[in-house]
């Protein structure tokens, strides 16, 4: 992971925050897995609103939040117009700095086997990151 802090995040999101600059370990969208030192990004969907879980995220160790509106929780807040877009902006900024080689595997049968074989072969030459499961897209 690239080094991230509040100043970097505010710059990427073209917003501001209140409080001291802090090192950010990760951006997390799931309060069930929030860890100390992470920033919680509150996604809002048709059946849920991550803004309702900000107090829980803070309790679990979140040091800041990315939100669509100010919330009544004492935690540094990065206010943006759309958190879903903000997540993409953050991901794009990270990928631009990391510039990884990417392999996409498609097909009906054998994707997991090919994924694991590629990871095993490439890991001889350096660090490899693979998805733990598959992504499913519905047309």
pLDDT of residue 130: 79
Q: Is 116's pLDDT higher than 80?
A: yes
Domain boundaries, the chain: 4-98, 100-139
Q: What kind of fold does domain 4-98 have according to CATH?
A: 3.40.1390
Residues 6+ apart with CB under 8 A from 19: 6, 64, 76
pLDDT of residue 135: 55
**How high is the mean pLDDT of the chain?**
91
pLDDT of residue 65: 99
Decide: helix, strand or coil at residue 6: helix
Q: Is 82's pLDDT higher than 70?
A: yes
pLDDT of residue 139: 45
Decide: helix, strand or coil at residue 61: coil
**Tens digits of residue pLDDT in 46-58:** 999 999 999 999 9
pLDDT of residue 111: 85
For 59, other C-beta atoms within 10 Å of its C-beta total 12
Give the pLDDT mean for 110-133.
Answer: 87
CA-atom Rg of the chain in angstroms? 17
């Amino acid at each position: 992971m690239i080094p991230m802090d509040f100043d970097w995040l505010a710059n990427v999101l073209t917003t501001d925050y209140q409080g001291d600059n802090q090192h950010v370990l990760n951006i997390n969208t799931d309060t069930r897995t929030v860890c100390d030192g992470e920033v919680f990004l509150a996604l809002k969907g048709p059946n849920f609103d991550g803004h309702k879980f900000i107090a829980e995220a803070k309790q679990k160790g979140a040091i800041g939040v990315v939100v669509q509106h100010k919330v009544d929780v004492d935690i540094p807040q990065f206010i943006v117009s759309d958190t879903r877009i903000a997540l993409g902006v953050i991901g794009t900024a990270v990928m631009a700095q990391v510039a990884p080689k990417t392999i996409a595997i498609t097909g009906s049968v054998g994707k997991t086997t090919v994924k694991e074989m590629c990871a095993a072969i490439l890991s001889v030459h350096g660090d490899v990151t693979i998805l733990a499961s598959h992504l499913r897209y519905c047309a």
